[in-house]
Amino acid sequence: MTARMTPDFWAVIPAAGVGSRMRADRPKQYLPLAGKALIEHTLDCFLDHPGLLGLVVSIAPEDPYWPSLTCALDQRVQRVDGGAERADSVLAGLCHLRERGARLTDWVLVHDAARPNLARGDLDRLLGELADDPVGGLLAVPARDTLKRAGADGRVVETVDRSVIWQAYTPQMFRLGALLDALQAALEAGAAVTDEASAIEWVGESPRLVEGRADNLKVTRPEDLQWLEQRWAR
């Protein structure tokens, strides 16, 4: 059987957040992990891929950490100023791509800066399965645990059918023009945009879910980083 070809793509990494839940002395994307800053491992997931056309990192304007990283000197990596919210940072990255000549039909993958354990197999599966998709989609994982919906009093209201619930991961993969238009429209309307798929959903489209590995972990709390350190030390 012939291997499915994966399309070329751009990557956008929103990295302007401060990660307050980590209770660290710096934004979580700059915490050390296996001899590098966490964000360097994240970028390596894409910089090693032959289909990468270029990568944009959205950084806080006064960020003092980024210039010290080796990846900041990589010609394939461009820095732009991020915004107050994730959606603002993603939009800044998309606008930069458009300004530098990326086509509206080009694929763009948006990935969390603090999600360094993306497997190459998952990245290729996402690219391959969505290559001809009319909408695009995202890596996700079916819910495994029993889910409860709580009331205002903190008591269970009902048990949710987990068979239809997925956890949204990244990368999320959409055409540049479609994602740019959807984000701009959603933000202008004051809609809640928690990820790129939610912006696409807001304009009436249905992104496709591509099952990935559950260990594509987003570092949010100290124990997440400890888990990765232990796993990578094996």
> β-strands 136-142, 9-15: how paired?
unpaired
- What pLDDT score does 231 carry? 86
Q: Is the pLDDT of residue 3 over 70?
A: no
CB 110 within 8 A of CB 171: yes
Q: How many CB atoms lie within 10 A of CB 89?
A: 27
Q: Is the pLDDT of residue 232 over 90?
A: no
Q: What is the pLDDT of residues 68-114, one digit of tens each?
A: 999 999 999 999 999 999 999 999 999 999 999 999 999 999 999 99
Q: Is the pLDDT of residue 1 over 50?
A: no
Q: What is the pLDDT of residues 7-47, one digit of tens each?
A: 999 999 999 987 666 767 889 999 999 999 999 999 999 99
C-alpha span between 210 and 214 (Å, rounded) = 12
Q: What is the pLDDT of residues 197-217, one digit of tens each?
A: 999 999 999 999 999 999 999
Residue 98, phi then psi, degrees to nearest 5: -65, -40
Amino acid at 206: S
Q: Mind spelling out the 3-state secondary structure of 49-114? A: CCCEEEEEEEECCCCCCHHHCHHHHCCCEEEEECCCCHHHHHHHHHHHHHHCCCCCCCEEEECCCC
Statement: the pTM of the whole predicted model exceeds 0.85: yes
| Three-state SS at 12 | strand
Q: How many CB atoms lie within 10 A of CB 212?
A: 22
> pLDDT higher for 124 or 18?
124
- What pLDDT score does 2 carry? 38
Q: Which residues contact 148 (CB under 8 A, 6 or more apart)?
A: 156, 157, 158, 159, 160
Comparing CA positions, the residue from 105, 123, 131 lying closest to residue 5 is 131
Q: What is the pLDDT of residues 159-201, one digit of tens each?
A: 999 989 999 999 999 999 999 999 999 999 999 899 999 999 9
The CB-side HSE value for 100 (13 A sphere, CA atoms) comes to 18
